[in-house]
């Protein structure tokens, strides 16, 4: 009998920032790295012969929880990649649900009819992923292998192996948590599900001690969409947004620098502006009545996706000493790094990829 542990990658930037990752590479979040450590503790003492992983960064980094302690070399499998979502890639779920509401509904609930320009179909994804799993099982007769893949792929596979059609996968096969563990067995002819989406390692006191009480966006929750501010047409709207965001005096919007307004439906809830220095967040604010709903971190996500392609490996922001935003900055992975001028502290966040996990 061959045993396969099928494991979803840890929380990645797209999960947190509400951006469609598809086959785009994104880094793990701080929470994701805590999940990796929890996964390592879960499998301590469990014999694993081989480790296979999608070649995308977020899966490779998660797989390190099992292959590094065992001095194994991971097998990189392109066929284990997440579904390529075509023109949706790198777009926010908020934009997607506004522009393609019917297709968004089908993506989660009617996989049999979902189609998008430049994308794979769920049927194509299922074919390549099942082919990879059956080949891995055949290559490891009588052994135990760990296989790291992605939420949508695993959802399709588990449903199919349990006789659930693509039409009914949306209603009968939920998406497992990040690092959820499913167990498959292979008898040389048939592959079946023994256990699915077990997240018990994320329910231990050791892991939960690091969790925040505040709400975080999850699943396919749409989140925000972003547009550049339109001046002078939106001058009054932006002034009202800034006024509703400040606790006191704060920086003003610089019309000469790139900026993005965050929208929940047709309502503006936040604003982020970049520069002028590399990796710099000049301004980030969320309306007071919209805070602690997972929106602020999506502003930080837009800064990551703005600056990383331009070569920045860290974000920087200067805040007044002792301001209320310090707790939020720590939650987002920023750390204080000295003075940024009289009465101001420089906060930095690493956004670079670890070269160990880059293909």
pLDDT at 218: 44
CB contact at 8 A, 166 and 126: yes
CB contact at 8 A, 22 and 82: yes
pLDDT at 217: 46
Among 80-94, 157-171, 337-351, the minimum mean pLDDT is found in 337-351
Average pLDDT over residues 247-261: 78
pLDDT at 247: 55
pLDDT at 241: 80
- Long-range contacts of range 68-74, CB-CB < 8 Å, 24 or more positions apart? 69/40, 69/44, 72/48
Same fold yes or no, 2-208 and 225-357: no
SS (H, E, C) the chain: CEEEEEEECCCEHHHHHCECCCCCCCCECHHHHHHHHHHHHHCCCCCCCEEEEECCHHHHHHHHHHHCCCCCCCEEEHHHCCCCEHHHCCCEHHHHHHHCHHHHHHHHHCHHHCCCCCECCHHHHHHHHHHHHHHHHHHCCCCEEEEEECHHHHHHHHHHHCCCCHHHHHHHCCCCCCCCEEEEEECCCCEEEEEEEECHHHCCHHHHCCCCCCCCCCCCCCCCEEECCCCCCCHHHHHHHHHHHCCCCCCCCCCCCCEEEEEECCEEEEEEEECCCCCEEEEEEECHHHCCCCCHHHHHHHHHHHHHHHCCCEEEEEEECCCCHHHHHHHCCCEEEEECCCCEEEEEEECCCCHHHCC
pLDDT at 222: 66
pLDDT at 96: 96
Among 15-29, 106-120, 236-250, 316-330, the minimum mean pLDDT is found in 236-250
Domain ranges of the chain: 2-208, 225-357
Q: Is the pLDDT of residue 238 over 60?
A: yes
pLDDT at 246: 64
Q: Is the pLDDT of residue 256 over 90?
A: no
pTM of the predicted structure, to 2 decimals: 0.94
Q: Is the pLDDT of residue 310 over 60?
A: yes
pLDDT at 244: 67
Q: What is the CATH number of domain 225-357?
A: 3.40.630.30
Average pLDDT over residues 215-238: 74
**pLDDT band for position 289 (cuts 50, 70, 90):** confident
Q: Is 19 exposed, middle or buried (0-12, 13-18, 19+ CB in 10 A)?
A: buried
Does the N-terminal peptide bond of residue 166 adopt cis geometry, omega within 30 degrees of 0? no
Q: Is the pLDDT of residue 359 over 70?
A: no
Q: Model confidence over 194-213: pLDDT tens digits?
A: 999 999 999 999 999 988 75
Q: Model confidence over 88-100: pLDDT tens digits?
A: 999 999 999 999 9
What's the mean pLDDT when you consider all of the chain? 92
pLDDT at 109: 95
Which CATH topology does 2-208 take?
Rossmann fold (3.40.50)
């Amino acid at each position: 009998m061959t045993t396969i542990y099928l494991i979803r990658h840890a929380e990645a930037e797209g999960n947190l920032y509400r951006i469609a990752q598809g086959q785009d590479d994104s880094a793990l979040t701080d929470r994701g790295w805590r999940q990796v450590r929890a996964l390592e503790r879960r499998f301590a003492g469990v014999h694993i012969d081989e480790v296979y992983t999608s070649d995308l960064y977020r899966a490779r980094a998660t797989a390190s929880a099992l292959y590094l302690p065992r001095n194994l070399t991971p097998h990189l499998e392109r066929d284990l990649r997440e579904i390529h979502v075509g023109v949706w890639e790198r777009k926010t779920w908020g934009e997607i649900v506004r522009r393609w509401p019917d297709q968004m509904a089908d993506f989660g609930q009617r996989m049999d009819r979902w189609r998008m320009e430049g994308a794979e179909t769920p049927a194509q994804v299922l074919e390549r992923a099942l082919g990879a799993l059956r080949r891995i099982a055949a290559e490891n007769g009588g052994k135990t292998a760990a296989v790291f893949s992605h939420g949508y792929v695993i959802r399709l596979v588990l449903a199919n192996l349990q006789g659930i059609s693509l039409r009914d996968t949306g209603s009968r096969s939920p998406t497992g948590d990040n690092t959820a563990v499913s167990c498959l067995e292979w008898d040389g002819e048939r592959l079946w599900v023994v256990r699915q989406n077990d997240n018990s390692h994320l329910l231990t006191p050791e892991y939960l001690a690091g969790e925040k009480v505040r709400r975080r966006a999850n699943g396919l929750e749409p989140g925000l969409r972003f547009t550049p501010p339109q001046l002078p047409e939106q001058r009054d709207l932006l002034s009202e947004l800034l006024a509703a965001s400040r606790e006191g005096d704060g920086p003003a919007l610089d019309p000469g620098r790139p900026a993005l307004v965050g929208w929940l439906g047709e309502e503006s809830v936040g604003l982020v502006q970049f520069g002028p220095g590399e990796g710099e967040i000049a301004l980030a604010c969320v309306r007071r009545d919209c805070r602690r709903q997972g929106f602020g971190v999506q502003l930080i996500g837009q800064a990551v996706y703005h600056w990383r392609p331009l070569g920045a490996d860290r974000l920087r922001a200067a805040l007044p000493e002792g301001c209320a935003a310090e707790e939020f900055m720590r939650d987002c992975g920023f750390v204080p790094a000295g003075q940024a001028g009289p009465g101001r502290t420089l906060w930095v966040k690493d956004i670079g990829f670890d070269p160990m996990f880059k293909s």
